[in-house]
Amino acid sequence: MLQECKMTSTFAHRAGLLWRILAICLMVCGLTFVPAKSSGRASELGQSNKTEEAKPAQEKVRDASQAAAKSGAHHFDRVVIIVLENGDYEKAVKDKNLADLAVHGASFSNFHALFHPSYPNYLAMIAGTDFGIHRRGRLFADRQTDFPDDSAHHTIADRLIASGLDFKNYAEELPEGNCPFHIDGQHDGNSKKGDYVRRHVPFLSFREVQEKWCDHVVGVDSAKGNSLFGDDNSFVRDAKNGLVAYSFYSPNMNNDGHNTNVEAAGEWLHKFLDKTFPEKLRKGTLVVVTFDESDRNADNKIFTLFLGDMVNDASAQNPNALARRYTHYNVLRTIEDNFGLEPLSAGDREAEPITDIWK
């Protein structure tokens, strides 16, 4: 019996010594011994994830905005995108009205549209992809599509709504009706107005918008404007009350230059930003002026301008920054980063945000 006790004592002593040696080795290697009981920590992590998912939308927006601000990506409170039609850069940059506006912002010297014809570019501006529409070729790629309401056909509207933000697509001379997505185009008999065409109102190509958010597509009577007597059009009324985070503005086919020319589009834009949407209504708002595509130049180079009280005037801009190659995808990525939104598709995900133009 005494012998057995001695053996037991010796074994215990050696076992204790081995554990001490093992502990010293672990400390030297920088490791930490973790007890087998880990379910409590796993439970904490799971609870943390559930708490994040349960956050109210406004709290998520605040978190996203704070994250964007810390990264230097948050520059503006709202954005208004105005799309003109079929203008070569070489012609647009020499237009008197466009040149006058460019003095007050960032006019990019190496900006390119993505496709020919128009429609795929409009889709790319709001979805980060044209869903392969450009592969139909120039003859058929302008034929409009009603994309299904599924996870493969999302737009920036989905990201904005999910984050507690909002969007609107303003369309001059939008046909009357609850949701006229089925009308591809309509001639306006009023000689002072231009025609409406649906392919220039990209959000109407998505079933989700047609069925859930069609009230976010707002008609604008271009014969009205910013009236001293209160007879404002719908866009001006919203601008006076406060625009939503993201606005896409689709001029009629005279004002955007499609059925006229670059000079007519420049004249309309200058008047629009001077009278209809003047600087006092644009505080904190980034105005993006771009063309959907070029007209006849070989490389689809187009005029694109950023205006706003957060953008340096032309005299303070770095020409090298303005000469970087950008496309519609870079604009979308800049907007996403500003609002703390996840990219939608490969086009915007792989694009760099526009930098070095801000105050």
As a whole number of angstroms, the distance between CA 217 and CA 181 comes to 10
| pLDDT value at 302 more than 60 | yes
The answer to whether residue 327 sits within a structural domain is yes
The answer to whether residue 309 sits within a structural domain is yes
pLDDT band at 45 (very low <50, low <70, confident <90, very high): very low
The answer to whether residue 91 sits within a structural domain is yes
Share of the chain above pLDDT 90, in %: 76
Are 86 and 258 in contact, with CB atoms under 8 Å apart? yes
pTM value > 0.85: no
Structural domain boundaries enclosing 327: 78-349
The answer to whether residue 123 sits within a structural domain is yes
Are 291 and 328 in contact, with CB atoms under 8 Å apart? no
- Token pair for residue 296? 């006849």
The answer to whether residue 260 sits within a structural domain is yes
Instruction: Provide mean pLDDT across the span 181-198.
Output: 92
* Strand pairing report for 185-186 and 217-220: unpaired
Closest by CA to 250, choosing from 93, 83, 107, is: 83
Q: How far is residue 358 from each of residues 221, 223, 341, measured CA to CA in Å?
A: 34, 35, 20
pLDDT at 62: 55
Alpha helix (H) residue ranges in 191-301: 207-212, 234-241, 262-271
Q: What is the pLDDT of residues 71-114, one digit of tens each?
A: 468 999 999 999 999 999 999 999 999 999 999 999 999 999 99
- Token pair for residue 183? 């009308």
pLDDT at 191: 78
Instruction: Provide mean pLDDT across the span 225-233.
Output: 80
pLDDT at 227: 74
| pLDDT value at 57 more than 80 | no
pLDDT at 189: 82
Are 296 and 88 in contact, with CB atoms under 8 Å apart? yes
pLDDT band at 66 (very low <50, low <70, confident <90, very high): low
pLDDT at 226: 82
The answer to whether residue 198 sits within a structural domain is yes
Structural domain total, the chain: 1
The answer to whether residue 172 sits within a structural domain is yes
The answer to whether residue 33 sits within a structural domain is no
Q: What is the mean pLDDT of the chain?
A: 86
CATH code at position 158: 3.40.720.10
As a whole number of angstroms, the distance between CA 359 and CA 316 comes to 9
